[in-house]
Structure 1
């Protein structure tokens, strides 16, 4: 079951920063008359066991290996294959700390059937991208391998199961490969750590996890172990724990279920459990009575933050009673979240960020977690305010109108899941079955969940919710963490003071008053204009309309998602038309309007009004365009059109929102200089944008000069003339169905025929050869960015060659810097090319490493570039690029998001939208010679920037 499980911010930070190590690297429902869901009639009060989704085949081999198999055609001709192991860092001995994660790395560096790097090479040639597709992670309790494979190649598909079996039982642990991988794993630790958050976690985790084994077995492990362990030690871990009775194979995709079951039997039946298997110890985090307070600081931490974590025993949803409880928890999280959103809309928001919710935690625990980031010097107010809100919920509970709104929002979500049950991505099913195997959580399927909510949500009363809040928000097994910069250490509260704050925070709170409006968005549809021209492009299935006011509309009806229509609209101009003096006001215009509401309805009231709608509409103003991004279900399409019309014609001017936004931004600027990454990024922005202030972080001075009147006026001006606008609609509709709405709402948008376009302000990377080093930070960690840039001839042929160059560089730098040099974890290359405001390109190469390895890796990077310019790409690397592009294009052509972005870009760049039909066959234009010519032309070094972040105590790297 994967319905809206909320993981607390604290838990998420714990898992991603310190607790997981990721290796190898984004209204009441009405049933459809054609497909009624199965009944969920159940005696909820007696706790009936939830059924398992009938569409998944679950089995177990004689050796104990479990398998889950489901046929699913989203995406077509693809399958998600996972190997899930109940094996994580908790099972390590003292001498093995870090080897659960290291084992995961070694699975990609040699198995019985795939020596050394053969596995990765084979998959890349088959169109599986390393890191983006082929991936894995290790956590406290599990290690999971992810392998997406094509199913239209029987040989590759069958090989996928052989690869999973090799990971499951036949990793070779070659000593030379182990020694090479030590540096990669240590660099992963450097990339994810060596920062303020890691150092703070070292102080707080023993308290948060009550000195349990979880606190002493972080998956990344111990540096001394990683540097010095021998092959026998890691083989021992692998042989003890990688065994079929602790493993599951999950296969979801476009295939024959019985064929897959046989492939699993053929590949996994020979795996054996140890003759005398070690018992798998079961660890948890013991509860602690009362409240424990921990205060921690770090020189580079840029915020003052408090976290209040109330821990409870983990509840795994297996029965109808558990499902009802989870439903109530979802409703509680929604209502508390809405209350905190209202606080953020005040003219003097009491905090920079605040969130409270109940969800999964660590160590067989759930937790009610509250996180608040205070404005500088204002921790007490922020702390008391957010604790006061949770205390308000505990003491006074919720209102009937709040609860009904939360129910409607929940029904919208579960209804959407039901409507899209045949369009659900395979990876979503995998996650559900993974939880079923690891913790026993039920997975009854979208049909059952939909029916259960429809039949039972109205049984939830205000009294139920008030009792739940009182149960979850307690003062027992509670941990309070206060974190801040060293510079604020003397100002942070003592433990006794924190306890006093907790005791008095809710002293004067009163019952919540729900501020709602009965105002409709619109009384009636406006008088629009009719379609004056219509043309069809049968090749790609689009229709172009022009309305009487000049608005152009591109329509792409699809059946990719039943409950989705994506909408984009743009007109050239953007903030490039604002003067330098008014730029900051103009740049804030769209964010302010987005958070202000519409007409007489403020944002809080608007959110409540739309709670039962599956609709999102957001106006934007970018550097060179203004427009709308939106989505809606077919049933809420007219609401989306009303919102678009109102954002054009009745944007709301809210002085409170403006004041609050300005105050928040000032507070963030005040401590930005403490974070080394932010300081480095400021230098990168300056160099990459030729010191133009428009592309850099704003200053307090510019912020003080901005005004709401100027921002509002600029927004009104950008949306005053729709005659230059082009809208794109992609999703489940017919042209005839939506044409009347287009005529009524888009056809009524104001039109002045100003014929505006953007201004080219010449904002691009500095010319020439530039070397800059920033010395900031106490961690032994460096970041390198190498940039080539210049003018560009924007056309399809060149764009294809640049895409190929990007992928080839990624392959070669991964092989050289990661695999050969063993001195970085995730080198990357990103090539950008654009036509607007002028045709230019940039090649961005980036990696992190130890300070002492900067020069070596820069030299290795330049050496690989030199080789490309001498001989071009190898035939094997071109094959990998072509296979990846062909596979990804096949998937993208069945996605609304792809078509929405693609058609909009084609319109903006004046390109033929039919070109996508020839893209795969055009991949043959990439050759060793073409990549050589592209490298020579665009990696000439005429405009070459090297930007390096070094720690403060390290000497600057020599300029070459």
Structure 2
């Protein structure tokens, strides 16, 4: 084994030496090439196209229409109409009348919202259309849809007026404390710029009253081929696709006198500024600081790439590690903090810092953030910090390179969108891997530290604080915020000091256990190993990703076995342990140790089991196992870190009940469970954390992890059974064992039977929320579980058709549910409909009518067929995914699911009948146990 590793390392060294030698003399002024795998062209009308053949996933293609126009281009009578135009693309086009487009896409397995979607930003509008290629005709239909969006939207008057309600419901969803505070801060943050006046959602008053001609004018002005790109990435033929693009989009014409596509600017700030905004419904404090915005240039040369994609990212990575270290200290100034370079404004950039204050309040958080930035300005980073950041970047790009032939089309197409809109380079992963491995070693600490000088050039800051009206501390005013900037600049500082950490995770290697049984399951293509300590390992070797290992594990038991006195100690045992570290490592030290490694593993308790979760690259697989072993055997006690985490968490959750929807859901849960003290809590309280006994929490965790017998571990990925056996024998076979069996525990918690109506009044905004919960006991079967899943999806189709498109009473919402086998056989279905108060009764009646119809008559065949197609298309993709198989195998070994149902999934889905769904609806939507709860605004 060691000899094989040595040969592998020598081979890797030779390869990397070749890479470095070949690129040692990179010409930094040379232009960054475009990946040869992507075909980029331009039609005579100016439309740009990107085509890339990519077979991950198979028989699927990702289509995008990208319009280089968004809300920034709206006229004063068009505020919100860039976004409204996006909606109208789904409401009737040249070749698809209203609903026909969505109906067709659903019929081929594309889900509205989840798959089919679009978004509008300040500077762009992007239409997202994934198309399954199980029928080759789907591809040309998809291109026809893109063609219609690009030049054939109907804008019928009735459809425009009907859509107003849906758009206003989308606007309503965003209203609340966060939105109210944002709308006070954002105009000052972008003062003097058009960006301050063009939020994509627009203004409700205009959305209700705009003339039809205004939205048609926006479409005519800006939806033109010389501002568009069509992107096709998937399991297609490039040459044939290029001809189809010419056929479908070559006839689009630009206006005779096109309006110039202008770009808004953001003026540099000339003085410090600040604002403090509070709201009685706010749930947390946040602090943000923004340096003055500067204009940026696209990355065109290798030198540009080195400066931005390497040097600047190293600077940001190290700064955020510093902030994380402060947040995870025993006396943290904030709960979380970080920084980045970015801006809402295209072509502009600013350094931004943000923090979530802890118990000491926003003053302390702001001063600590400013002080750490000052420390970096004065002293820079250390060589050790730089080396760790380099290792991490190189490890990340290496994994992407190793998986280069398994990259999903949806990932690639996002890169091409950024290339078209922002000129982000797309040299391809092979070239980028070479660049990073060639350029990274030459990056010096001095030049990374020099980036802090850029901050000194743009030191006119805008500082904002937002949060609840009432708190335990006195809030600063604008003058005090600005004064903090000078206080930090003048504070006496010491350079950051590195602390020595252990050089290995384990002090000694565990004594290996014995392999006592090995058998192969050819049907599932898995190998099952049994070790002498009673552990079982299931291995499924796949080639879905070249460099991915997924590790999961479980033992039946969990926190349901603990009574009311242990409730909080058991519930938060996992979180508490994770805050204190493992072995000789605090969380900060562990993060430093793992720099350059792609490996993680954790162990946690839930209601019914203890769970193992991990993943790694192939070369770091042993590190993953060592981390897992430490979680089982060497949890670490650090009372100061535990108390720090507890107080930070209490400060973050103390205002949660100020939010109307949160308070509503909390009340519904209490009513549902009759205030049962063992029932799950919808919203944690500060008192919950005061009830955690650290010693007891650690004891509970150890009770669930100190006996490995009857644990099942599942490995899925590019893993060879014979190669991994020594690691399994050591780190799984070597776990301590006492021979006890795991078992499910039913603690008796149930939703109370009967029918209940609840009205809850809270909130300034005219917002309501309908929340119906159906529940009860039921005989479990995997068939019923599938039928219930399909029932939910069928009802969601009807909710879109009736409640959204016909009534116009919702933007989003739906029903979901499941049938459970453990700890008792039962079902839960939940209907959620955010809406306006004036529509509560109408929507409740409409939803109930759809539910009753499906209980009495079953679904329409066309809707059942849509759901079948959707499930089968998802299965075709998921069956080539490691995490999917990890979940499937957990179901087989944890819940005793029938493996034949996985192997015959297509046949089983196709055999589901209208009567099957009707019967399922009668069982899980029978109204015998239902809570009908509605949130209303304050009277």
TM-score, structure 1 normalization: 0.94
Distance in 1 (alpha carbons) for counterparts of 2:95 and 2:17: 47
Q: Is residue 262 from structure 1 mapped to residue 228 from structure 2 by the alignment? A: no
Match of 1:502 among 462, 467, 485: 485
Match of 1:467 among 450, 457, 460: 450
Tell me the secondary structure at the aligned position of residue 533 of structure 2. Answer: coil
C-alpha displacement at 1:376, in angstroms?
5.1
C-alpha displacement at 1:313, in angstroms?
2.3
Structure 2: which 5+ runs fail to align? 1-8
Match of 1:390 among 373, 377, 382: 373
Change (3 A) 1:297 1:841: same
Equivalent residue for 1:173? 155
Equivalent residue for 2:769? 783
Any residues of structure 2 matched to 1:621-632 within 5 Å, and which?
621-632=605-616
Contact in 1 for aligned 2:82/2:120 (Cα 8 Å): yes
Distance in 1 (alpha carbons) for counterparts of 2:295 and 2:24: 26
Q: Is residue 333 from structure 1 mapped to residue 319 from structure 2 by the alignment? A: no
* Deviation digits for residues 156-191 of structure 1 (CA, Å, limit 9, x no counterpart): 111111110010000011111111111000001111
Q: Is residue 620 from structure 1 mapped to residue 601 from structure 2 by the alignment? A: no
Contact in 1 for aligned 2:53/2:237 (Cα 8 Å): yes
* Deviation digits for residues 860-884 of structure 1 (CA, Å, limit 9, x no counterpart): 1111111111211001101100110
Q: Is residue 372 from structure 1 mapped to residue 355 from structure 2 by the alignment? A: yes
Any residues of structure 2 matched to 1:746-825 within 5 Å, and which?
746-825=732-811
Equivalent residue for 1:437? 420
Q: Is residue 836 from structure 1 mapped to residue 822 from structure 2 by the alignment? A: yes
Structure 1: which 5+ runs fail to align? 1-26, 954-960
Equivalent residue for 1:520? 504
Equivalent residue for 1:238? 219
C-alpha displacement at 1:152, in angstroms?
3.1
Q: Is residue 106 from structure 1 mapped to residue 92 from structure 2 by the alignment? A: no
Q: Is residue 78 from structure 1 mapped to residue 66 from structure 2 by the alignment? A: no
Match of 1:718 among 691, 700, 704: 704
Q: Is residue 120 from structure 1 mapped to residue 102 from structure 2 by the alignment? A: yes
Equivalent residue for 2:539? 555
Distance in 1 (alpha carbons) for counterparts of 2:95 and 2:746: 56
Q: Is residue 910 from structure 1 mapped to residue 906 from structure 2 by the alignment? A: no
Distance in 2 (alpha carbons) for counterparts of 1:104 and 1:43: 48
Equivalent residue for 2:518? 534
* Deviation digits for residues 802-822 of structure 1 (CA, Å, limit 9, x no counterpart): 121011110001111100110
Distance in 2 (alpha carbons) for counterparts of 1:31 and 1:263: 46
C-alpha displacement at 1:312, in angstroms?
2.9
* Deviation digits for residues 358-379 of structure 1 (CA, Å, limit 9, x no counterpart): 2354343222111122235622
Contact in 2 for aligned 1:70/1:251 (Cα 8 Å): yes
* Deviation digits for residues 186-218 of structure 1 (CA, Å, limit 9, x no counterpart): 001111x22111111111111111131111111
Equivalent residue for 1:92? 74
Q: How many residues align?
A: 926
* Deviation digits for residues 48-82 of structure 1 (CA, Å, limit 9, x no counterpart): 21100110000111111100000111111111000
Change (3 A) 1:763 1:882: same
Any residues of structure 2 matched to 1:283-362 within 5 Å, and which?
283-310=264-291, 311-326=293-308, 327-362=310-345
Contact in 1 for aligned 2:343/2:350 (Cα 8 Å): yes
Match of 2:439 among 452, 456, 462: 456
Q: Is residue 405 from structure 1 mapped to residue 388 from structure 2 by the alignment? A: yes
Tell me the secondary structure at the aligned position of residue 505 of structure 1. Answer: helix
* Deviation digits for residues 597-628 of structure 1 (CA, Å, limit 9, x no counterpart): 22222221111111111001111111111121
Match of 2:38 among 38, 51, 56: 56
Distance in 2 (alpha carbons) for counterparts of 1:414 and 1:28: 20
Contact in 2 for aligned 1:38/1:448 (Cα 8 Å): no
Equivalent residue for 1:10? none
Tell me the secondary structure at the aligned position of residue 422 of structure 1. Answer: helix
Q: Is residue 572 from structure 1 mapped to residue 560 from structure 2 by the alignment? A: no
Contact in 1 for aligned 2:285/2:357 (Cα 8 Å): yes
Distance in 2 (alpha carbons) for counterparts of 1:274 and 1:373: 49
C-alpha displacement at 1:764, in angstroms?
3.2
Equivalent residue for 2:730? 744
When structure 1 is superposed on structure 2, of 652-661 and 893-902 the one drifting more is 652-661
C-alpha displacement at 1:934, in angstroms?
1.6
Contact in 1 for aligned 2:502/2:584 (Cα 8 Å): no
Distance in 2 (alpha carbons) for counterparts of 1:138 and 1:31: 47
Contact in 1 for aligned 2:789/2:818 (Cα 8 Å): no
**CA RMSD across the alignment:** 2.1
Equivalent residue for 1:11? none
C-alpha displacement at 1:828, in angstroms?
1.4
Distance in 2 (alpha carbons) for counterparts of 1:764 and 1:812: 30
C-alpha displacement at 1:477, in angstroms?
4.1
Change (3 A) 1:498 1:949: same
* Deviation digits for residues 114-142 of structure 1 (CA, Å, limit 9, x no counterpart): 01110110010001111100000011100
Match of 1:156 among 138, 143, 146: 138
Contact in 1 for aligned 2:324/2:336 (Cα 8 Å): no
* Deviation digits for residues 690-736 of structure 1 (CA, Å, limit 9, x no counterpart): 43344114444443232211111111111011102100000001111
C-alpha displacement at 1:346, in angstroms?
2.2
Change (3 A) 1:799 1:488: closer
Contact in 1 for aligned 2:24/2:438 (Cα 8 Å): no
Distance in 2 (alpha carbons) for counterparts of 1:586 and 1:580: 10
C-alpha displacement at 1:406, in angstroms?
0.6
Change (3 A) 1:393 1:685: farther
Change (3 A) 1:528 1:688: farther
Equivalent residue for 1:423? 406
